[in-house]
Amino acid sequence: MIRISIDAMGGDHGPEVTLPSLLRVSERRPDARFLIFGREDEVRPVLERLPRLKEISDFVHCEVAVRMDDKPSQALRNGRWKSSMWKAIEAVKDGEADACVSAGNTGALMAMSKFCLRTMADIERPAIAAIWPTIRGESIVLDVGATIGADAQQLVDFAILGAAMANALFDIERPTVGLLNVGVEEIKGQEEVKEAGRMLREAALDTMQYHGFVEGDDIGKGTVDVVVTEGFAGNIALKTAEGTARQIAEYLRAAMSRTLMARIGYLFARDAFQRLREKMDVRRTNGGVFLGLKGIVVKSHGAADEEGFAAAVELTYEMVKSGLFEKTRATLDLYHARYPVAPTGAVSNA
């Protein structure tokens, strides 16, 4: 049995989306159980309509729901110990749940997660890791929004975290890792990126294969299993990819309905277009993982519908089942035992 705590109040739609999504998950993952946190007056009416979900869930009333426009410091100050977001995270800390999922305010979720769970030894800042569909299959990209700007040691830590995630989710013994840069030549890029490349080459870790620098178009090609960058560039890349997918889908929809011959052609190629639509559906890869914490927290897109939120919960389920936390901690311990002091002089928070 895998237990997942749910912030039912998060996102643009709250319990009306988060709760029905859990039923979809239970149909595909029958050993999943849920600990639901939220305001009783909003959660109970939805639960009453979903008797099957009531059977596999426990509900805890919370007085406060963190708003999407709350500042992280404000949410942390006002929402600690009584908000649905805090309680869902705290359930992981207390061992009542194996992982937590929320579609709420990203900044508040990160602030509360760091405060409640703390980071792993020698990790200064967590990263948000996303599953990225590629021509070859899937890759992991991090950081996609948690850390704006990162030094060389943090980029190295991100590489280690991402490789451990690829090992756990994709069952790849030595995932390939690349640093996102403006060119593949060693002389190009910011000093932090070049220094991180040097550190990864010299470390020669058994848990990954350092590929070198990769460029933006390598992400979609699937050139490496893990793409590492700081959060500003990573978030822009993520939002650009999501927008481009929707743009292409709209172009195809308009083209296929423009003329009678186009509509007839669509009927003959309907199966192919359906597979393309599924491949480009951003809901399938919804869910950003907060890596580097002493526990698993997953952030769903705030605007996710039932299928999108269900995808984030299923991703969480798979990470628990694959032992992501344990593998990540073991890999970090191995690296920091070999390099207790970062070459950049970064100070450990252990």
Domain annotation covers residue 299 = no
Domain annotation covers residue 300 = no
194, 166: one domain: yes
Is residue 113 pLDDT above 70, yes or no? yes
- Sign (positive or negative) of CA dihedral 11, 15, 20, 22: positive
Tell me what pLDDT residue 345 has.
40
50, 191: one domain: no
105, 158: one domain: no
CA-based nearest residue to 70, from 87, 88, 85, 92? 85
Least confident range from 63-77, 178-192, 329-343: namely: 329-343
Least confident range from 39-48, 111-120, 257-266: namely: 257-266
Tell me what pLDDT residue 275 has.
63
Average pLDDT for 298-321: 91
Is residue 274 pLDDT above 80, yes or no? no
Tell me what pLDDT residue 99 has.
96
Is residue 44 pLDDT above 90, yes or no? yes
* Confidence band, pLDDT 50/70/90 cuts, at residue 270: low
**DSSP summary character for residue 126:** -
* Confidence band, pLDDT 50/70/90 cuts, at residue 320: very high
Q: Are 68 and 44 in contact (CB under 8 A)?
A: no
Is residue 347 pLDDT above 50, yes or no? no
234, 320: one domain: yes
Highest mean pLDDT among 147-151, 311-315, 333-337: 311-315
The pair of structure tokens assigned to 290 is 């907060």
Tell me what pLDDT residue 349 has.
35
**DSSP summary character for residue 348:** P
Indicate which CATH number applies to the domain containing 55: 3.40.718.10
CA-based nearest residue to 303, from 15, 6, 11, 10? 11
Structural domain tally of the chain?
2
Least confident range from 2-16, 68-82, 299-313: namely: 68-82
Torsion of CA 287, 321, 99, 305, to 10 degrees: 30
Select the more confidently predicted residue: 8 or 187.
8
Tell me what pLDDT residue 279 has.
56
* Confidence band, pLDDT 50/70/90 cuts, at residue 342: very low
| Spatial distance between the Cα atoms of 141 and 146, rounded to a whole number of angstroms | 12
Q: Which domain holds residue 105?
A: 2-117
Domain annotation covers residue 334 = yes
Domain annotation covers residue 298 = no
Average pLDDT for 86-103: 95
Select the more confidently predicted residue: 136 or 92.
92
337, 208: one domain: yes
Tell me what pLDDT residue 88 has.
95
User: Across all residues in the chain, what is the average pLDDT?
Assistant: 85
Tell me what pLDDT residue 35 has.
96
Scan for tokens 């997953």, then name that residue: 298
Partners of 100 in beta bridges: 5, 297
Specify the pTM. Answer: 0.83
Task: Give the end of a domain, one of 101, 117, 133.
Answer: 117
Helix (H) or strand (E) holding 198: helix 191-203
110, 139: one domain: no
CA-based nearest residue to 219, from 312, 285, 167? 285
Is residue 225 pLDDT above 90, yes or no? yes
Return phi, psi of residue 60, to 5°. -125, 125
197, 173: one domain: yes
* Confidence band, pLDDT 50/70/90 cuts, at residue 149: confident
Average pLDDT for 317-342: 80
Task: Give the end of a domain, one of 56, 85, 117.
Answer: 117
89, 132: one domain: no
Is residue 101 pLDDT above 90, yes or no? yes
Is residue 160 pLDDT above 80, yes or no? yes
The proportion of the chain whose per-residue pLDDT surpasses 90, expressed as a percent, equals 46
CA distances from 54 to 88, 287, 294, 313, 332 (A): 17, 24, 29, 17, 39
Q: b/e map of 51-64 (b: 16 or more CB within 10 Å)?
A: eebeebbebbebeb
